[in-house]
C-alpha cells in the first residue's frame, strides 16, 4: 500500500509538471487579460481618452445606451446558430451515412475551398449579391420592385450562415460518422420507423457534435464584427462593433470593458444553460434507448 501511495504521488507530480506549461500559458493569455478588463470596467475615462483609475459602477449603469447592440447580438447570434444547424445537419447526415466515399471526399473539398479565401472578400461578394445590382435587380426584372436586402438583419443572417456553416458542419459530420449503423438496424428490427429511429437513435448519438458546433458558432458570433459592419451597414451592429467603437474610436476603455464583461457573463450563462439542457436531454434519450 505504501508503494502504491508513493507511485500515485509520483504520478500526480509528473502530471502537474506536464500541465504546468499549459497552465502558465492559459493564465498569461486568458486569465490575466480578463482580470485587467474587469478592473478597467470599474474605472473612469481619462480626459484625453483611455483609462483613469477609479472605482465606480457608472459604466455598468450606462449599458442601456447600447441596448440595441445587445438585442441585435442576442437575437441574431442564436438565430444564425440555429439556421446553421438546420442547414448543416442534413448535409452532414448525407455525407456521413449516405454518400459514397468518392462523393463524400468531393463534397468535403467543396466545403473547405471557401476557407482558402479571406472572409472579407467573401463578404464583399455578398454585398454585390444583395445590393441593388444583385438579387433586387433580378427580382425587379420579374415585376417584384422595391426589395431591399442589403443593410438589413436578413443580410447579416445570410452572411453569418455562409461564413460559419463549415464550423457547424464538421463537428456534426464527425459525430454522425462515428454512429454505429447496427443501432439503426436494431431499431428497424424492433419495429421502429425510419423517422422514429432518426429521432431516438441518430439525433441522440450526434448530440456531442451538435453541442460542439453550436458552441463554436455561437461563441464566435457573440464577438462578430466584420459581417455586421459590411452587410449591416451601420444599421445592424453587434457588440463586436460597439467594442471597436469604444476602444479604438471613442477611446472609452472603461465603458468598453464593462460591455465586454457583460458580454462574457451573458455567454457563460447561455452556454451553461445550453449544456445543461443538452446533457439532460442526452441522458434521457439514452435511457429511452436502453
Fold classification of 66-289 (topology level) = MetI-like fold (1.10.3720)
Taking the CA atoms of 30, 32, 36 and 42 in sequence, report the sign of the dihedral they define.
Answer: positive
pTM of the model: 0.83
Q: What is the mean pLDDT of residues 120-137?
A: 88
Question: Average pLDDT, whole number, for the chain?
Answer: 86
Angle between helix 67-93 and 153-177 (nearest 10): 40
Q: Are 88 and 213 in contact (CB under 8 A)?
A: yes
What pLDDT does 198 receive?
84
pLDDT at 4 over 70: no
Could you read off the pLDDT of 229-287 as tens digits, one per residue? 999 988 888 999 999 999 988 899 999 999 999 999 988 888 788 777 766 655 555 55
Could you read off the pLDDT of 196-222 as tens digits, one per residue? 888 888 888 888 899 889 989 998 999
* Residue 172: CB atoms within 10 Å: 28
Confidence of residue 49 (pLDDT cuts 50, 70, 90): confident
Alpha helices (H) in 113-198, listed in sequence order: 119-130, 135-141, 153-177, 181-189, 194-197
Give the Cα separation of 46 and 92 in Å (integer).
Answer: 52
Bridge partners (DSSP) listed for residue 52: 44
pLDDT at 223 over 70: yes
Three-class DSSP category at 224: coil
Confidence of residue 165 (pLDDT cuts 50, 70, 90): very high
Amino acid at each position: 500500500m505504501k508503494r502504491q501511495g508513493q507511485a500515485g504521488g509520483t504520478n500526480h507530480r509528473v502530471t502537474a509538471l506536464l500541465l504546468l506549461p499549459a497552465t502558465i500559458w492559459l493564465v498569461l493569455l486568458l486569465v490575466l487579460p480578463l482580470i485587467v478588463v474587469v478592473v478597467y470596467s470599474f474605472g473612469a475615462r481619462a480626459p484625453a481618452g483611455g483609462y483613469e483609475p477609479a472605482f465606480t459602477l457608472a459604466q455598468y449603469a450606462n449599458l442601456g445606451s447600447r441596448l440595441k447592440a445587445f438585442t441585435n447580438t442576442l437575437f441574431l447570434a442564436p438565430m444564425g446558430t440555429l439556421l446553421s444547424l438546420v442547414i448543416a445537419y442534413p448535409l452532414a447526415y448525407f455525407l456521413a451515412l449516405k454518400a459514397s466515399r468518392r462523393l463524400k471526399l468531393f463534397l468535403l473539398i467543396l466545403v473547405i475551398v471557401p476557407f482558402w479565401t479571406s472572409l472579407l472578400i467573401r463578404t464583399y461578394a455578398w454585398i454585390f449579391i444583395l445590393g441593388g445590382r444583385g438579387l433586387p435587380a433580378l427580382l425587379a426584372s420579374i415585376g417584384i420592385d422595391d426589395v431591399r436586402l442589403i443593410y438589413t438583419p436578413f443580410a447579416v443572417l445570410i452572411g453569418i450562415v455562409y461564413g460559419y456553416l463549415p464550423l457547424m458542419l464538421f463537428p456534426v459530420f464527425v459525430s454522425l460518422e462515428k454512429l454505429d449503423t447496427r443501432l439503426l438496424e436494431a431499431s428497424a428490427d424492433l419495429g421502429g420507423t425510419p423517422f422514429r429511429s432518426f429521432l431516438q437513435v441518430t439525433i441522440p448519438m450526434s448530440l456531442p457534435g451538435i453541442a460542439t458546433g453550436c458552441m463554436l458558432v455561437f461563441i464566435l458570433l457573440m464577438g462578430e464584427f466584420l459581417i455586421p459592419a459590411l452587410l449591416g451597414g451601420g444599421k445592424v451592429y453587434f457588440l463586436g462593433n460597439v467594442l471597436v467603437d469604444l476602444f479604438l474610436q471613442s477611446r472609452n476603455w472603461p465603458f468598453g470593458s464593462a460591455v465586454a464583461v457583460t458580454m462574457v457573463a451573458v455567454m457563460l450563462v447561455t452556454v451553461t444553460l445550453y449544456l445543461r439542457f443538452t446533457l439532460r436531454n442526452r441522458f434521457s434519450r439514452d435511457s429511452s434507448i436502453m
